[in-house]
Amino acid sequence: MHDSYSERMSGGETRAAAGLALVFAFRMLGMFMVLPVLATYGMELRGSTPALIGLAIGAYGLTQALLQIPFGMLSDRIGRRPVIYAGLLIFAAGSLLAANADSIWGVIAGRVLQGAGAISAAVMALLSDLTREQHRTKAMAMIGMSIGLSFAVAMVVGPLLTRAFGLSGLFMATAAMALLGILIVAGVVPRAAGPLQHRESKVASQALLPTLQHVDLLRLDFGILALHAILMASFIALPLALVEQGGLPKEEHWWVYLTALLIGFFGMLPFIIYGEKQRRMKRVLLGAVAVLLACELYFWQFGSSLRALVLGTVVFFTAFNLLEASLPSLVSKVAPAGGKGTAMGVYSTSQFLGAALGGILGGWLYQHYSLSGVFLGCAAMALLWLVFAVTMREPPYVTSLRLPLSVAALHEVGLAERLQAVPGVADAVVVREEAAIYIKVDTQQLDRMSLERLIEAPPATC
């Protein structure tokens, strides 16, 4: 291996990855902290109904889904930082609007404005600008971990903050975190030389239509939509069930979520390792969706005591964490060479649409059919997902590579076709405007050095 592939991340790359992971974490904390408390504390707001509480929970997903891809494309034109600063200011403004609201409509307006600060794509693009090829996956993983961690922290800190300072204090804290994110981007994250042309970290307009026509990717997009719809709807029902059927005061809910998330996190690890090592991710995915379905039916039929609700919540979060961690990995495997950025953009949009749908539908179901209606509605969504997922193929166990091309290699006719004939290469596409080739390889079959020699070698002459 070349030295460049074994060296560690530079100080600048580490600062960029850590700083942007923190920005992501603060923003997601602000999104997630209301989940465990809005259903219980929100009913004290003027004009509240269960349906409007559901709308408040899911509202951010609507604007997030609409604006995420356009904001990412805008960052290619005017720069990453202006878009990130503007997005965080919009998010802070939404938080302040919700904090000062005395009616449920004010909170809904604040949540809509929070979602309009859709900076995910711009942050990922800036991370790509600031990291080298061989460290990009590691940097992206740091952001992925920060999102997972922020969700876990939000489930515990949300109830504790709200108990101490009320809903208003919770939203003020999210505004402060957004402003802190601006200071981190300005003071910690290094400056980039300029936007990097890189298809794996942004939405490419020419790849959008093929992505929307890719059946395997659409199946995964529906999966993340269903998962977040079930999560949001469940968070309308579960806090209320803990109070009404479990007899647990709303101020004490934090320990249930802490227990469920800790056990759920460690509980999912053996299944992820099994799926990847044995190349059985389809089996793991189907099993987790089936468990999710079983959990909703269990809540509906047996969730009448605190012990039963806590047990169900632990199993629910084990399945949820497993699916949340494995779905993005499956998108990366299934997306065509050079299409991962676009595939992830559509996937994220589907995730936010699911959050909006789940909040709205969950609130409506609770208002008209009580807790049982919500749990049965979530079970129906899980069943529909299971039907879609059963027909998926076992994903290819491949890794995406982007290799720079010399001028000679760039003009070589049939290079992508020749590379696809190499054992272990599943897909290859030359992108001339980037002077690069995107390749998907099975690392168990491929010798990376041989691949690089083939690309660097001058074209054979007859």
Per-block average pLDDT, block size 10, for the chain (462 residues)?
56 90 89 90 93 94 92 88 95 96 96 93 86 76 81 90 94 95 93 67 74 90 96 94 93 92 89 87 94 97 94 95 88 81 89 95 96 97 96 82 73 74 77 76 72 57 32
Compute how many other C-beta atoms are within 10 angstroms of the C-beta atom of residue 2: 10
| Residue 404 included in any domain | yes
Task: Note whether 44 and 206 are within 8 A (CB).
Answer: no
Pair 393, 409 in one domain: no
CA atoms within 13 A on the CB side of 238: 29
The structure tokens listed for 87 are: 């997005």
| Residue 323 included in any domain | yes
Pair 245, 388 in one domain: yes
Q: Residue 445: which CATH number? A: 3.30.70.100
pLDDT of residue 462: 30
Query: Which residue range(s) make up the domain with 175?
Result: 12-190
Domain boundary at 190, 224, 251, which?
190
| C-alpha 32: how far from chain center | 12
Phi, psi of 248 (to 5 degrees): -95, 120
Report the C-alpha gap between 246 and 376 in whole angstroms.
19
Closest residue by Cα to residue 198 from 121, 87, 143, 141: 121
pLDDT of residue 125: 84
Matching residue, tokens 């009580």: 370
Pair 127, 273 in one domain: no
DSSP string, 63-81: HHHHHHHHHHHHHHHH-HH
| Residue 3 included in any domain | no
The structure tokens listed for 443 are: 């690392």
* Total domains, the chain: 3
Calculated CA dihedral for residues 442, 444, 446, 452, nearest 10 degrees: 90
pLDDT of residue 4: 43
Pair 336, 231 in one domain: yes
pLDDT of residue 5: 45
The structure tokens listed for 261 are: 């998330």
Pair 17, 76 in one domain: yes
Report the C-alpha gap between 453 and 442 in whole angstroms.
17
Pair 214, 162 in one domain: no
Pair 320, 230 in one domain: yes
Pair 234, 171 in one domain: no
Pair 67, 140 in one domain: yes
Report the C-alpha gap between 140 and 207 in whole angstroms.
21
pTM: 0.88
